[in-house]
Homo-oligomer: A and B are copies of this chain.
Amino acid sequence: MVRKHVVLAGDLAGTVVFAIEGASAAIQAGLDLLGVLVLSFIVALGGGVVRDVLIGATPPNAIRDWRYPLLAFAAGLLTFAFHAPVAAAPPMLLITLDAAGLAIFAATGAEKAIDYAITPLNAILMGAVTGCGGGVIRDLLLTRTPLILMADIYATAALLGAAVVVVCRRLNWPPAVATALGCLVCFVVRMAAVQFHWQLPRVA
C-alpha cells in the first residue's frame, strides 16, 4: 500500500520534470503555446504511451486517466509563463532532476511490463522505452536525430536500471526493493556518466 503511493508519487514527479523539459525544448525551438503543451505531454507521457500500446495495456494510462495530461499541461503552461527563471536554472539541477525522472520511468516501466507477463529481455526494453521514448518523439517532432542514439550514457542507464528490476523480480525480491534498487542504479550510472564524460564506443 505504501509502495503504491510511493510509486504514484514518483510517477507524478517524473511527469512534471519531463513536462518542464519538453516545454523548454519547445520554447527554445520557437514553437507557439500549442506546440509547448504538445511537447510537454509527449516528453512526459509519450514513453509510457508507447510502452502501454506495445504491451497491450490499452487505453494507455495517460489516455485513460485525465490526471496525467492535466499535470503535464499545467507544468508546460507554468514553464511557458515563467520561462526566464526556468531557462536560468543551473544546468546541473536540470540534469539531476532529469536523471531522477529517467530512473523512475525506467524502473516502473520495467515493472509494469513484468506485471503484463512480458519476458525478461523485453521487459528491460520496455523500461528503456518508458524512460527514453518521450525524448525520442520530441527529437523527431523537432526533426533532429534522437540524441540518445548518438551520444551519452542515457538509454544505457535506463536499460541497466530496468535490468536490475527484472533480475530482482526473478529472484523473488519484494517489488518495492526491486523498484528502489533499479531507480538507484539508473540514477547513479546516469550521473556518473555525466560527471566522468562516459561515452559508448562507436565505429571511428
A residues with a Cβ closer than 8 A to B are 26-27, 29-35, 38-39, 49, 53-56, 58-60, 63-66, 69-70, 80, 83, 116, 118-122, 125-126, 136, 140-146, 148-151, 155-156, 199-203
From the candidates B27, B136, B145, B202, name the one contacting A33 in the complex (CB within 8 A).
Answer: B202
Contact of B149 with A39 in the complex, beta carbons under 8 Å = yes
Contact of A145 with B142 in the complex, beta carbons under 8 Å = yes
Chain B residues positioned under 8 Å from A199 (CB to CB): 32
Contact of B200 with A32 in the complex, beta carbons under 8 Å = yes
Contact of B29 with A145 in the complex, beta carbons under 8 Å = yes
Chain B residues positioned under 8 Å from A59 (CB to CB): 54-56, 116, 118, 122
Q: A54-B53, A63-B55 are in contact. Are A122 and B69 (CB under 8 A)?
A: yes
Chain B residues positioned under 8 Å from A125 (CB to CB): 63, 69
Copy tally for this chain in the complex stands at 3
Closest to A153 in B: B34
Chain B residues positioned under 8 Å from A121 (CB to CB): 66, 69-70
Kindly list 7 other residue pairs between chains A and B, CB separation below 8 angstroms, not including A33-B200, A58-B58.
A31-B145, A54-B59, A54-B60, A55-B63, A63-B126, A66-B122, A143-B144
Q: A58-B56, A66-B122 are in contact. Are A80 and B150 (CB under 8 A)?
A: no
Q: A30-B202, A33-B201, A58-B54 are in contact. Are A145 and B143 (CB under 8 A)?
A: yes
Distance in angstroms between the alpha carbons of A56 and B65 in the assembled complex? 14
Contact of A34 with B142 in the complex, beta carbons under 8 Å = no
Contact of B146 with A141 in the complex, beta carbons under 8 Å = yes
A-B contact pairs, 14 of them (CB 8 A): A29-B145, A32-B151, A33-B202, A34-B149, A63-B125, A65-B119, A66-B119, A66-B120, A66-B122, A69-B125, A80-B203, A83-B203, A136-B141, A141-B149
